[in-house]
Structure 1
Amino acid sequence: MTTYALAHLRNVTMGADIVAYLEAIDATMAPFGGRFVLHGAGNRRVLEGTFSSDIIMLSFPDRKAAEDWYDSPAYRAILPLRTRNSDGDVMLIDGVDDGHKATDVLQGN
């Protein structure tokens, strides 16, 4: 099942560290089958509330690949470049099966 790395970043200070992070991250994801699904503010239309942060979503083939990427020496080496220059929340979350329906979350409750 696909696993997503989802980051909600705020107060990003663009500078040499962030540029270096952006230049290096693709190479850290490649061995784990990672790819960008969403990246940054993009062309968005806020439908409810207010939102001025950035959303980044990466896709990995499965949970193990996502965890191995995040814990890899290559990614750990560049991680401080982002964390020193932004605030944010980052999580891994599994996707749902094809055909998932909203009421599927009620099963087992």
Structure 2
Amino acid sequence: MTHYAIANLSNVRMGAEIVEYLERIDATLAPYDGHFIVHGNQPEHLEGEWPGTLIVIEFPSYEQARGWYDSPAYQEILPLRTGNSDGVTMLIEGVDRDHVATDVLG
């Protein structure tokens, strides 16, 4: 089942370390078939406020998502981001295209 790595970053301190992180992250995703589906675009706020920037990366499976996050290549660059921003990061399973809202009741 498709899994997503989701982050909400705030207080990003742009500088050489964040630039290096951005230059290197794509190479860490490739072996796990991960790719960005949301990254850095400004949302249109319809209700409420969302502090920060949303990032969503799609992976074909949990194993690939977790493998990417735990990989030596990603762990090597992770401090470049965590040392220069605040945020929350998580992995979450997606749903099938035939999912309906009431599926969560059963």
Q: Per-residue deviation at 1:100?
A: 0.1
Separation (CA, whole Å) in 1 of partners of 2:20 and 2:6: 20
Query: In structure 2, what residue type is equivalent to 1:19?
Result: V
Aligned-residue offset at 1:43: 3.8
**Distance apart, 1:44 and its partner CA:** 1.8
SS at match of 2:95: coil
2:52 & 2:42 partners in 1: Cα distance?
13
TM-score normalized by structure 1?
Answer: 0.95
Structure 1 position 51, deviation (Å): 2.1
Kindly report structure 1 stretches of 4+ aligned residues shifted beyond 3 Å.
Answer: none
Structure 2: give runs of 5+ residues left out of the alignment: none
Alpha-carbon RMSD across the aligned residues, in angstroms, is 0.7
Gaps of 5+ in 1: none
- Verify: 1:50 aligned to 2:49, yes or no: yes
State the partner residue of 1:26. 26
- TM-score (ref. length: structure 2): 0.97
The aligned runs of 1:1-109 (5 Å cut-off) are: 1-40=1-40, 42-107=41-106
Shift of 1:52: 3.6
